[in-house]
Amino acid sequence: MPEALTDDQIVETTAATTPGMFAVLLRNRVAVAAGLVVLAFVAVSVLAPWLAPFDPNLQHPDAIRLPPVWQSGGRAEFLLGTDALGRDLLSRILYGAKVSIGLGVMVVLLTMVVGTGLGMIAGYFGGWFDAAMSRLVDVLLAFPFLIFALAIMAATGPNLTALVLALAFKGWVDFYRVARGDVLSARHADYVTAARGVGAGTAHLLLREILPNIVPPIIVLATLRMATIIISEASLSFLGIGVPPSIPAWGTMVSDGRGDIATAWWIATFPGLAILFLVLAVNLLGEGLRDALDPRMRL
Amino acid sequence: MLARFLGRRLLQLVPVLLGVSLIVFLTMHLTPGDPIEHMLGQAGRVTPEQIAELRSHYGLDRPLATQYWLFLRHAASGDLGISYSHQGRPVAEVVAERLPATLELTLFAFVLALAFAIPAGIFAALRPQGLFDRLGTVGALVGISLPGFWLGIVLMITFGLRLHWLPISGRIDLGLAPRTITGMNLVDAALTGDAPAFWSALRHLILPGITMAAPMAAMVMRMLRSSMIGVLEKEYVQFARAKGLPETEVVGKHALRNALIPTVNIVALQTGLLLSGNMIIETVFQYPGLGKLAVDAIAAADYPLVQAVVLIYATSYVLLNLGADVLHVVLDPTVRTAAT
């Protein structure tokens, strides 16, 4: 029975391209607000040296474990209080945004490029490469990621390169699976057959014809993965084997405050709130993008 | 039919576990950090001869391939080697000692998560965009965005240190441990009718249990809600309503069973994540389980112990997924023919 297109179908056809997806996203107020929060965090991570009242590692011996300003004993220059070494919590939290966002972006880009590339090759050519990759993916999916990252990090000691590699070790698999599946179905699509018919080479087909069509779901996945990566990095830093201790990172700060929770609740609490807000905003943005791309995937 | 499906899936377990063991073996041996140095860290003066002797005692002087082969051969017969950091006790023994604690916590968190998520998902689906649904949606999103280690600490501060309602570390109060039967305190206390031990163990499980359950509850609730909304629009549900069946029966019997099918996979996936999250949560709560054992073993470069724990995690992950597939086949007759 022929029917007029429903609203959802119209949205879907416009959203299947990258600009279309963002156009639909702009109609979702919650997602736009979340996007603004994420942008604010990015701004903080860049502008921390100008925004922060103090150097994040500067110790104030006369201001050890000061409570936040609204509690009795708090001082106006330390809005969120100080930690056990007399360092200003607000300054450390502002600087900490850099690690969470910087590492998150780096790991997501790395896994996205590797995963999408391998997925496209496997999906397009199939054959032994595809078969070998799917065995590897089975193994990696069963692999307890955290314990593996722990083992690498424990062996190399806290350093940023190892941290990025440990976080990326398994993250590319999601991109691989999405890209492979999409390429598999795009391989015989009309536009690909047409391009092949006019003599387009493999590289052209993959990069100029197929890739633009699988970008939107990859962007959605990248955003949602970003949230996971931020939590994983913070978890490793919390265990003392993520970011080197000289760099202020939210996970390390929560860990610093662990010994003082009975007397100074704020030291562990505020950095964790920063993680929660950033991850929440990234998740909301990612889900907004997913809904814009395909309303039927909404949870 | 189901048996053949099961057998084939169990066979697929072998290459996965081989791959996992190879990766962990290589990373442990190729990364810097020498277990002998760790062992001798506090020992003071040792001669190079003594070090060489220890090396050969643990087989560390052999070629890597030989070491891996020996590890596999022994593991196949249940011998996981000797732990470097636990006074040379067999790894299997050390692991067996900690396993019940982790099983108990994981099961507790599992039950907690489902006990919350299933009713919440159903209620939210009954009135989409209603007050409960909106609250639930926000709550679920917060649940998946919470860093577990931080949630644990906030719960400790609030319910342990401020309100003094619950203990913040360990498994049971000193001197209350029940007679060991299964190693799971709650079960042992229940079996022996030891009420004080039961309450003490239960109180110790609540905070780490909630911390562990939060993300799983959030994910399961979202999944159940959305599949329930989809199912409630289906014709057979409308038909059941039109027949005049009471709403509780329509929702509880006709709709729920079908809505649970896609949820089963999320539950398995999340249970796998429960396991991998337990390292952090056990560390936060000083809970003496497998996760904390793994963290300590890594710090001590205790290769055999780390290998064993990784293999246990990987095996349980694969088995959980297998379990989900089997449940899927049982719940959904349409995939039964396709799977077998």
Chain B CB contacts of A136 below 8 Å: 19
Nearest to B147 among A155, A231, A265 (CB): A231
In a domain, A1, yes or no: no
Range(s) of the domain holding residue A258? 7-298
Chain B CB contacts of A154 below 8 Å: 33, 298-299, 301
* pTM confidence score: 0.85
Pairwise pLDDT comparison (B329 vs B93), residue with the higher score: B93
Distance CA A33, CA A117 (A): 32
**Are residues B145 and A280, on separate chains, in Cβ contact within 8 Å?**
yes
Query: Does B117 touch chain A if contact means CB atoms closer than 8 Å?
Result: no
Angle at A170 between CA A168 and CA A172, to 5 degrees: 70
In a domain, A235, yes or no: yes
Query: In Å, what is the CA distance from B191 to each residue of A37, A278, B18?
Result: 53, 46, 39
Predicted local distance difference test score (pLDDT) of residue B336: 58
- Predicted confidence band of residue A128 (pLDDT cuts 50, 70, 90): very high
Average pLDDT over chain A, rounded to an integer: 85
Euclidean distance between the first and the last CA atom of chain A, given in angstroms as a whole number: 29
Span B123-145, mean pLDDT? Answer: 88
Chain B CB contacts of A169 below 8 Å: none
Chain A CB contacts of B313 below 8 Å: 144, 147
Predicted local distance difference test score (pLDDT) of residue B33: 59
Q: Give the tokens for residue B279.
A: 């390292």
| DSSP output for B70-138 | HHHHHHHTT---B-TTTTT-BHHHHHHHHHHHHHHHHHHHHHHHHHHHHHHHHHHHHSTTSHHHHHHHH
Nearest to A152 among B27, B157, B223 (CB): B27
- Predicted confidence band of residue A121 (pLDDT cuts 50, 70, 90): very high
Q: Give the tokens for residue B297.
A: 């073993």
Query: Does B198 touch chain A if contact means CB atoms closer than 8 Å?
Result: no
**Are residues B157 and A299, on separate chains, in Cβ contact within 8 Å?**
no
Restricting to A residues 133-192, those with a Cβ less than 8 Å away from any Cβ of B are 135-136, 138-139, 141-148, 150-152, 154-156
Range(s) of the domain holding residue B270? 98-300
**Are residues B283 and A239, on separate chains, in Cβ contact within 8 Å?**
yes
Distance CA A26, CA A269 (A): 33
- Predicted confidence band of residue A281 (pLDDT cuts 50, 70, 90): very high
Angle at B100 between CA B99 and CA B104, to 5 degrees: 120
**Are residues A146 and B276, on separate chains, in Cβ contact within 8 Å?**
yes
Is the pLDDT assigned to residue B38 strictly greater than 70? no
Query: In Å, what is the CA distance from B322 to each residue of B2, B5, B221, B326?
Result: 12, 10, 22, 6
**Are residues A139 and B23, on separate chains, in Cβ contact within 8 Å?**
yes
In a domain, A258, yes or no: yes
**Are residues A275 and B150, on separate chains, in Cβ contact within 8 Å?**
yes
Is the pLDDT assigned to residue B340 strictly greater than 50? no
Q: Complex ipTM, two decimals? A: 0.85
Is the pLDDT assigned to residue A286 strictly greater than 80? yes
Q: In one letter, which amino acid is A15? A: A
Neighbours of B15 (CB within 10 A): 12
Which of A36-40, A156-160, B241-245 has the highest mean predicted lDDT (pLDDT)? Answer: A36-40
In a domain, A2, yes or no: no
- B152-166, pLDDT tens digit by residue? 999 999 998 889 898
In a domain, A205, yes or no: yes
Name residue, tokens 């999601």: A174
- A209-232, pLDDT tens digit by residue? 888 888 888 988 999 899 999 998
Is the pLDDT assigned to residue B42 strictly greater than 80? no
**Are residues A258 and B23, on separate chains, in Cβ contact within 8 Å?**
no
Restricting to B residues 213-232, those with a Cβ less than 8 Å away from any Cβ of A are 222-223, 225-226
Which residue, among B10, B271, B12, B67, has the nearest Cα to A139 in the 3D structure?
A: B12
| DSSP output for A142-207 | HS-HHHHHHHHHHHH-S-HHHHHHHHHHHHHHHHHHHHHHHHHHHTTSHHHHHHHHTT--HHHIII
Annotate A199-228 with b (16+ C-beta within 10 A) or e (fewer).
eeeeeebbeebbbebbbbbbbbbbbbbbbb
Nearest to A147 among B146, B225, B313 (CB): B313
Q: Are B104 and B186 in contact (CB under 8 A)?
A: yes
Is the pLDDT assigned to residue A16 strictly greater than 80? no
Name residue, tokens 């209603």: B130
Give B33→chain A minimum CA distance, Å.
6
Q: Are B330 and B260 in contact (CB under 8 A)?
A: no
Distance CA B119, CA B34 (A): 51
Restricting to B residues 158-187, those with a Cβ less than 8 Å away from any Cβ of A are 161
Average pLDDT over chain B, rounded to an integer: 82
CATH number at residue B288: 1.10.3720.10
Give B125→chain A minimum CA distance, Å.
11
Distance CA B138, CA B134 (A): 6
Predicted local distance difference test score (pLDDT) of residue A50: 92
Which residue, among B7, B258, B317, has the nearest Cα to A141 in the 3D structure?
A: B317
In a domain, B231, yes or no: yes
In a domain, B287, yes or no: yes
How many structural domains does chain B have?
1
CATH number at residue A256: 1.10.3720.10
Pairwise pLDDT comparison (B139 vs B311), residue with the higher score: B139
Q: Which residues pair with B82 in a beta bridge?
A: B90
Predicted local distance difference test score (pLDDT) of residue A217: 87
Chain A CB contacts of B318 below 8 Å: 142
Chain A CB contacts of B17 below 8 Å: 142
Distance CA B239, CA B237 (A): 5
How many structural domains does chain A have?
1
Polymer length of chain A: 299
**Are residues A235 and B33, on separate chains, in Cβ contact within 8 Å?**
no
Nearest chain A residue to B24, by CA: A148
Chain B CB contacts of A141 below 8 Å: 317
In a domain, B156, yes or no: yes
Is the pLDDT assigned to residue A206 strictly greater than 70? yes
Which phi and psi (to 5°) does residue B71 adopt?
A: -60, -45
Lowest average pLDDT, out of A7-11, B29-33, B87-91, B208-212, goes to A7-11
Distance CA A264, CA B292 (A): 25
Contacts of B230 (CB under 8 A, 6+ apart): B259
Predicted local distance difference test score (pLDDT) of residue B77: 79
**Percent of chain B scoring above 90 in pLDDT:** 16
Query: In Å, what is the CA distance from B175 to each residue of A172, B130, B178, B186, B192?
Result: 49, 50, 9, 15, 16
Predicted local distance difference test score (pLDDT) of residue B39: 67
Query: Does A131 touch chain B if contact means CB atoms closer than 8 Å?
Result: no
Nearest chain A residue to B316, by CA: A142
In a domain, B315, yes or no: no
Neighbours of B7 (CB within 10 A): 10
| Pairs of residues, one from chain A and one from chain B, whose beta carbons lie less than 8 Å apart | 140
Chain B CB contacts of A151 below 8 Å: 24, 27-28, 31, 298, 306, 310
